[in-house]
Structures are given as C-alpha cells and as structure tokens.
Amino acid sequence: MREVELAIIGGGSAGLSAAVSAYDAGVRDIVILEKGPFLGGILNQCIHNGFGLTEFKEELTGPEFAARFIAQAKERNIEYHLNSAVSSLTKDKVLSYMNPEEGAVQIKAKAVVMAAGCYERSAGAIAIPGDRPAGILTAGQAQKFLNEQGYMVGKRVFILGSGDIGLIMARRMTLEGAKVLGVAELCAWSNGLNRNMVQCLYDYDIPLYLSHTVSRCEGKGRLERVIISEVDERKQPIPGTEKVFDCDTLVLSIGLLPNNDLLNNLGIPQGRSRGSEVNEKFETSIPGIFSAGNVLHVHDLVDNVVEEARVAGKAAAEYILGTSEEVENDITVVPGNMIGYVVPAKVSSKGDDKVSVKFRVREPSKNVYIVYELNGKQIKKVFKPVIIPSEMEIQALPKSLFNGESGTLTVSLIKKEEVK
C-alpha cells in the first residue's frame, strides 16, 4: 500500500489552504483527494463577488478566489487527484478512493485533514406536503446548472429559505430574466447576510415573507404552484393564512450540513455544529486526524475558512514532523445560554498565545454581553449592540485569562441589565 505523509480530503478552499500551509511548514509528501472534476470546490459556481476581503484585501468572485489558492498549490507541486471520492477512512488512517485513471486505490497517511465541506439540506429532509413534480431543487443545484452549465432552471420562481445562496440565486435568476415571486423564511428573521438582503432582494423589489413556509406544492409533471402559510411560534402553518403563487420552480435554501460521515463513522464525537469535536489545533479525538472548514462548522466567509484550514494544515505538519508539543487540552468549551455551538470543543490552559473561539447565537438579540466563564467565574465579557445567527462570531481569548486553570469554559449571551 502506498504511504504518504499527509492526505487531504477535499480540494476546495479548506483543503487547498491546509495543503499549502502544511507544505510551507515543511511537509512535502501531500495528496489532495477531490471528488469533483476541478480544484476549488464550491467557489467555482459562486460567481458573485465579495470573497477575499481579509485574505487578499480585495473583493474577488468565487472562481477568482479559488484560482489564487489553486495557483499556490500548483506552485508547490502539491499532488492532487480529481474525480476521487474517498469512500472510507480507518482509525489507522488508511483511505480508500476511486477515480477513472487509477481505479480503486488505498493509501495510508501519517496525518489526515478532513476538508470535505458541506452538503445542502434537500426537499426530502423537510417533507413538504403535496405533489412531487419536477422543478423543486436546492439553491446550489440551481447555481450549478445556471452558472456552469448554462441551463435556466425556471421562469417563475419561488424561494424557500433566506440563506445566502438562496438570496444570491434570487438576484442571479432575476438578472437572467426569471420572475422571482418571493422568498419565504420560517424564522422571524432573515438567515442571510445583511448585504445580500440589500443587493439581492431590495434592489429587485423581491418580497421576503418572514415566519412563513411552503405548506404545499402542486403540479402534474412540472411544478405549477406553491402555497405558503404563516407559521406560529412552534413553526407550524396557521390555517387561513395561505397565499398561492403560480410558479414553475421552487428553490430551496434551507441549510447546509457538514459532510462528515467519514469521521462520524470512526466514532469521533460530534459537536453541536454537526462537525467533529476538535481542539484549538483542529485535531479530533484521534491524534493526526484534523478537520477544518465547512465540514467542521458552516462558515459565512471563505476568508475564515482558509484561515482555519491554515492552522489545521500547520498543526498536521507539526504532527507529521514530530515538532508538536505535548499539550493537555484540559479546558472543555461548551455553548451556554442562547449559543448554538462553539468551536473548538477543547483548548489547553497552558501557553501565552491566544485561542480563537468561534460560535453562533441561536436568535437575533440586542444590547447583550457575550460572557466567557471558566468554572463559573467570569473571565471576559464583550458588549454587542446587535448580534445575529447569520453572522459567525470570532473572539480571540488570550490564554493569560485562564490563569493556568483547567475545567469548563462556557460562552453565554446575557442581557445587558443582567450582567454584573
């Protein structure tokens, strides 16, 4: 069996960044396994702009951002295989993959970076009542058809879910001549970035129906209409609030799920983000198996993905080269009041550096403090006039705050008036 030092699962933004970072830290024997026909992953179909403001200090489109990382990997002659889906991974880091050139292959790696991104929640997952005609597809599918293959997916379109890809597709299909009738969002708030609300919906007068869902699809062969209803506080449709939209297409933008089966199958504990639990070096409970990017937790910004993967790639290199220091990850980080999830799950109390804590709140809040407590003692608080679930929070905590103490670090959201 071929042996390599580092195997990277996924050749998108996270995989490329981890590979480049590991190379620059001294590892040469790297293999990237990409299931699609191109490097760059989902960025290739995200033709809109807004990528790279932190990483490159300029505003790029998705394919442009991808091209820069592809170039960095190619300059370093990092080996990659396309059309190569990894079908299994063992605790001993044996990977099985398959592609048209090599057939079925097994390789054994000293370290693995999981960077397989996420997939879209589909129509089946939410079981919309009614017919099952053609014309119901996810926002990412619509994006791929339109932006890479040049197929218009519909003429009269309704969108369920106000996630960013849904909003971006609302604009994109409008520009290509479709009539986008509206966007229904189950929550009482938008789940997209503010800038996308403005430049994708407001600019084109596309109505947003908050606290609404599609309660029925109707059509023989092709979708003919959707019926939307207002929902109550338990998110159940309220009878008598139905609105009918005649449309041929329903685009779903109802969430992304980490594509993390390979690590889940190894019994690595899962966090509330549905990615694996990792420490501050993005290493899982199995030494030498790392995870970064959207497979760990869904990011808003690719700039944050490549930064996270850079840390994971460097840590993987240190593991391979034997230069990583033995540290005990003696602090468990847990989400407290109103916090959806926190990454990483484990950190070390030792060291004089900073640890980057990332999390999302469960619902929009105003005039709150984010409070960090170690074993019940407040060690830091940060005031936020506005905080929303669609924007990931990132806080660098200096380890000096831990004072060498191990235990449980809780991140909570507390109303201004309740904070001591």
Partner 1 sequence: MRELICICCPRGCRLTVDDDLNVTGNFCPRGVAYGKSEVTNPTRVVTSTVRIEGSDLAMCPVKTSEPIKKGNIFKCMEEINKIHLVAPVHIGDVIIHNVCGEEGIDVIATRNMEKL
Interface stretch with partner 1, choices 12-20, 52-60, 91-99, 212-220 (CB under 8 A): 52-60
48 binds partner 1 (CB under 8 A): yes
Residue 200 CA to residue 183 CA, distance in Å, equals: 11
Considering only residues 391 to 420 of the shown chain, the ones binding partner 1 according to CB under 8 A are: 391
Contact 118, 143 (CB under 8 A): no
Separation of alpha carbons 3 and 110, rounded Å:
8
Q: Can you tell me the distance from the alpha carbon of 173 to that of 155, in angstroms, rounded to the nearest whole number?
A: 8
Q: Does 176 bind partner 1 (CB under 8 A)?
A: yes
Out of 19, 31, 197, 397, name the contact with partner 1 by CB under 8 A: 197
CB of 103 to partner 1, least distance (A): 22
Identified binder of partner 1 from the candidate list 37, 221, 239, 240, rule CB under 8 A: 37
Secondary structure of residue 318 in the 3-state scheme: helix
Helix (H) or strand (E) holding 379: strand 377-387
Fill in the per-residue mask, 259 to 298: x = in contact with partner 1 (CB under 8 A), - = not in contact: ----------------------------------------
Query: What is the number of alpha carbons within 13 Å of residue 199 lying toward its C-beta?
Result: 11
Q: Which of 12, 50, 335, 344 binds partner 1 (CB under 8 A)?
A: 50
For the bound state, the minimum distance from the C-beta of residue 334 to partner 1, rounded and expressed in Å, comes to 28
Q: How far is the CB of 366 from partner 1 (least distance, A)?
A: 12
Residue 90 has, within 13 A of its CA and on its CB side, a CA count of 8
Cα–Cα distance list, 376 to 91, 189, 223, 379, 411 (Å): 36, 32, 54, 9, 11
Smallest gap from Cβ 173 to partner 1, in A, equals 12
CA 128 vs. chain centroid, Å, equals 24
According to the binding rule CB under 8 A, does residue 360 interact with partner 1? no
103 vs 150 by CB, closer to partner 1? 150
Number of residues interacting with partner 1: please give it, by CB under 8 A.
31
DSSP state of 28: -
Contact 113, 137 (CB under 8 A): no
Q: Enumerate residues 62-91 that contact partner 1 by CB under 8 A.
A: 63-64, 67
Nearer to partner 1, 37 or 103 (CB): 37
Nearer to partner 1, 49 or 141 (CB): 49
Q: Whole-angstrom Cα distance, residue 112 to residue 288?
A: 6
Distance of alpha carbon 267 from the chain centroid:
21
The site for partner 1 (CB under 8 A) is made up of 37, 44, 47-50, 53, 59-61, 63-64, 67, 146-150, 175-176, 193-195, 197-199, 203, 300-301, 386, 391
